[in-house]
C-alpha cells in the first residue's frame, strides 16, 4: 500500500470532500496561497478558488463565529485554527454558541462544522504554542472530539467529521505532520466512537491517544522483550468514547495505563481511569495509572520540555512497577 504523510492525508480528505459537496468551504488564517504554516492546505485554493478557501484576518473569535453562522444556514465550514493554544480565544463561539445551538433550539438548528487544530509539545515552541487542550473541549456537551494517531486515522476521521451534522473538533499532533503511514488510495471513512486495538496482548492494557499511541506501541515493544505482553488501544475519538473496547481489554489484562498528552490533572487520562474504576473495578489487579503531560506550562528549554511529556521508557517503567504490584504503595 502507498504511504503518505499525515499532512497529505488531511489535504486529501479536505479536497475529496470539497469535490463531493459544494456547501463545504475552508476558512482560517493563511489557508489559501500560503497553505498554512504547516503547508497542509497547499494547492487547495488553486483547485477550489478563493470563494471556498478563504483567508481571514488574525481574528480567531471572528472567523469562528462566522463559521458557526454559516453552518447554521446551509454551509459546512472547515475552520483552520493555526495552533491549538488559540482555542482559548474562540471559547465563546465554540462552547457557548456552536455546542449549544442544536440543544437550545430544541433540535431545530444544526451546526455542522469542523474545527481543525493541533496539539503536541517538544517542538521548542514554549508555553503558548505547545498545549494539548482537547480535554477542555471534550468537557462541553455538544462537541465531538477526534484525535488521529496516524495519517490513516487523520484522513478517515476528518472525512467522517465533515459529514457529521454537529460541531467536531479535530486535534492533530503537529509533530506528526510529516510522519507517513499506509493510507489506501480508495475512499474510506472511520466511524466515530470505535476504538482500534493496535496491538493485542494479555498482561496489561495501554490506552493511548494521538501521538501517545506511538509511545504506547514503543513501550509495548520494550515490554515484549522482557516477556510482558501489552495490548495497545487507540480510542480515536474521545467524544464519543468507546468504553466497550477499553473495558473488554482491561477485563482481559486486569491492568491499565492511560497515556495522553494533555495535562494529567482533570484530563482525558483521569476520565478514562475513572470510568474503568466504575465499570471494571472487580476485574482489576492494580490501580489504573494516568500518564499525562506534567501540570506545568510547557517550558522552552529542551532540557526541561522533554521531561514534561510521557515517553516509551517512562511508560515501560510504569508498566513494570504495575506488573510487580509496586503501584499499590506509591
Residue bearing cell 513501550: 219
Q: How far is the CB of 64 from another protein (least distance, A)?
A: 7
Strand order in the sheet with 204-208: 196-199, 230-234, 204-208, 256-263, 289-293
Per CB under 8 A, 56 contacts another protein = yes
Rounded to whole angstroms, the Cα distance separating 256 from 237 reads 19
Of 22, 80, 72, 81, whose CA–CA distance to 52 is shortest? 22
| Binding status of residue 28 toward another protein by CB under 8 A | no
Q: Does 165 bind another protein (CB under 8 A)?
A: yes
Q: Which three cell numbers stand for residue 321?
A: 512497577
Helix 312-323 and helix 212-225, axial crossing angle in degrees, nearest 10: 50
For position 67 contacting another protein by CB under 8 A, the verdict is yes
Q: With binding defined as CB under 8 A, does residue 68 bind another protein?
A: yes
- DSSP 3-state assignment of 226? coil
129 has catalytic annotation: yes
Cα–Cα distance for residue pair 16/271, rounded to 1 Å: 35
Tell me if 66 contacts another protein by CB under 8 A.
yes
Does 60 qualify as catalytic in the annotation? yes
Q: Which of 42, 61, 266, 283 binds another protein (CB under 8 A)?
A: 61
Does 105 contact another protein by CB under 8 A?
yes
Grid coordinates representing 20?
463531493
| Least distance from another protein to the Cβ atom of residue 281, Å | 25
Instruction: State yes or no: residue 102 binds another protein (CB under 8 A).
Output: yes
Comparison of 65 and 287: residue with beta carbon closer to another protein = 65
162 forms part of the interface with another protein (CB under 8 A): no
Residue 146: alpha-carbon gap to chain centroid = 5
Which region, judged by CB under 8 A, interacts with another protein, from 33-41, 101-109, 313-321, 322-330? Answer: 101-109
Tell me the chain's radius of gyration from C-alpha atoms.
20
The footprint of another protein (CB under 8 A) covers 25, 51, 56-57, 59, 61-75, 77, 92-93, 96-97, 101-110, 112, 141-142, 144, 163-166
Catalytic residue set: 60, 129
Amino acid at each position: 500500500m502507498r504511504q503518505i504523510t499525515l499532512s497529505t492525508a488531511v489535504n486529501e480528505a479536505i479536497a475529496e470532500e470539497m469535490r463531493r459537496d459544494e456547501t463545504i468551504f475552508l476558512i482560517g488564517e493563511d489557508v489559501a496561497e500560503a497553505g498554512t504554516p504547516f503547508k497542509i492546505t497547499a494547492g487547495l485554493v488553486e483547485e477550489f478558488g478563493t470563494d471556498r478557501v478563504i483567508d481571514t484576518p488574525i481574528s480567531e473569535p471572528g472567523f469562528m463565529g462566522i463559521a458557526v453562522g454559516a453552518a447554521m444556514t446551509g454551509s459546512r465550514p472547515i475552520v483552520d485554527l493555526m495552533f491549538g493554544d488559540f482555542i482559548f480565544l474562540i471559547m465563546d463561539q465554540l462552547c457557548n454558541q456552536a455546542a449549544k445551538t442544536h440543544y437550545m433550539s430544541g433540535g431545530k438548528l444544526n451546526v455542522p462544522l469542523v474545527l481543525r487544530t493541533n496539539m503536541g509539545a517538544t517542538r521548542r515552541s514554549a508555553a503558548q504554542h505547545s498545549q494539548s487542550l482537547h480535554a477542555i473541549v471534550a468537557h462541553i456537551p455538544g462537541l465531538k472530539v477526534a484525535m488521529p494517531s496516524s495519517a490513516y486515522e487523520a484522513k478517515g476521521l476528518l472525512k467522517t467529521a465533515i459529514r457529521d451534522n454537529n460541531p467536531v473538533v479535530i486535534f492533530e499532533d503537529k509533530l506528526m505532520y510529516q510522519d507517513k503511514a499506509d493510507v489506501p488510495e480508495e475512499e474510506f471513512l472511520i466511524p466515530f466512537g470505535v476504538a482500534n486495538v493496535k496491538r493485542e496482548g494479555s498482561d496489561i492494557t495501554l490506552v493511548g491517544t494521538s501521538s501517545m499511541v506511538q509511545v504506547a506501541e514503543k513501550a509495548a515493544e520494550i515490554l515484549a522483550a522482557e516477556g510482558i505482553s501489552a495490548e495497545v488501544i487507540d480510542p480515536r475519538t474521545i467524544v464519543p468514547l468507546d468504553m466497550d473496547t477499553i473495558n473488554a481489554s482491561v477485563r482481559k489484562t486486569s491492568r491499565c495505563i492511560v497515556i495522553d498528552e494533555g495535562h494529567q490533572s482533570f484530563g482525558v487520562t483521569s476520565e478514562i481511569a475513572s470510568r474503568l474504576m466504575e465499570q471494571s473495578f472487580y476485574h482489576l489487579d492494580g490501580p489504573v495509572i494516568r500518564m499525562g503531560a506534567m501540570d506545568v506550562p510547557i517550558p522552552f528549554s529542551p532540557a526541561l520540555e522533554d521531561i514534561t511529556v510521557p515517553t516509551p521508557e517512562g511508560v515501560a517503567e510504569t508498566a513494570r512497577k504495575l506488573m510487580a504490584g509496586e503501584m499499590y504503595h506509591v
